[in-house]
Amino acid sequence: MNGVLVIDKPAGLTSHDVVNRVRRILGERSVGHLGTLDPSATGVLPLVIGSLTRLAQFYLKSEKSYEGVIRFGFATDTYDAEGQPTTPPQMITLDDSQVEELAGNFRGVIEQAPPPFSAKKVQGVPAYKLARKHQQVSLKPVQVEIKELTIASVEGDRASFRAQVASGTYMRSVAHDMGQRLGCGAHLETLRRTGLGEFQIGDAHTLEDLEDAVRRDRLDELMVHPRKLLPHMPAVTANDDSAARIRSGRPVNLPELSTARRVKVYYGQRELIAIATRVAGTLFHAGIVFAAEPAVQSRDSQAR
């Protein structure tokens, strides 16, 4: 069972909770996720399954798109609605021009301090573990890029937004820092990820959809077509001889891709068999081979 599946993560589950549930539904242990989502966040959570878990290394710097709501009037220790207030609540009524001007300060390349409740490490310890023990957490600002930050609407003390950001950007920190700029405090009330790399919310399926597809033996209909993966990377379809060489780890000649540094190699229309790197001229070596996995046992045989 090798493939990529996009789950519409519900609120209240960690990304790892989703992975564990999908492992049980599919009866497959080799399941990983791309791009962690906070428990309260929803939306696009791509899962890599079987031998395609090795694709994760190519998505470490993927751009992400979000929709959400920032609530102004008080800050929280987690920078989102799950945390405890850290500033006295204030009555505030925003106007469109005020929030739009504020958002302009956060577009482009900026310095951003990650939230104390995050997986960033302090002397080898995740910051959130220290924060839960009420220990002082001081994380150094890092450069991030916010490619788009659009204020969709403003109502009372809340502002709805759309954003497209580079990897490593925390929307919780954006909300918190906006509140500091206004002097009233703010936190991220809701967040929904609408895209990660080539995976969009329209590709996503609920966990209930997945359970139903497995019951009806229609799992293939939910999987991302292998030809849509890593669209920026050139692709080639191997014949029987080339495919055999690639699967056995031997170099192969690919004259049609003489200028590419790295290529996806398919066998037939749906099987991604390798990621190959150019050695010299038109000679490529498959550094990553997606070997076929053994068939998953039925639940009956597992029960025995």
Active site amino acids:
38
Determine which helix (DSSP H) or strand (DSSP E) holds 212, and give its type and residue range: helix 207-215
For tokens 């790197």, name the residue: 277
DSSP string, 33-61: ESS---TT-EEEEEEEEGGGGGGGGGGTT
Structure tokens at 173: 């920190």
Pick from 12, 60, 69: which is nearest to 33 by CA?
A: 60
Structure tokens at 286: 């498959």
Pick from 145, 137, 186, 143: which is nearest to 165 by CA?
A: 145
Pick from 21, 2, 1, 40: which is nearest to 206 by CA?
A: 21
How many helices (H) does the chain have, and how many strands (E)?
7, 16
Q: SS3 for 301?
A: helix
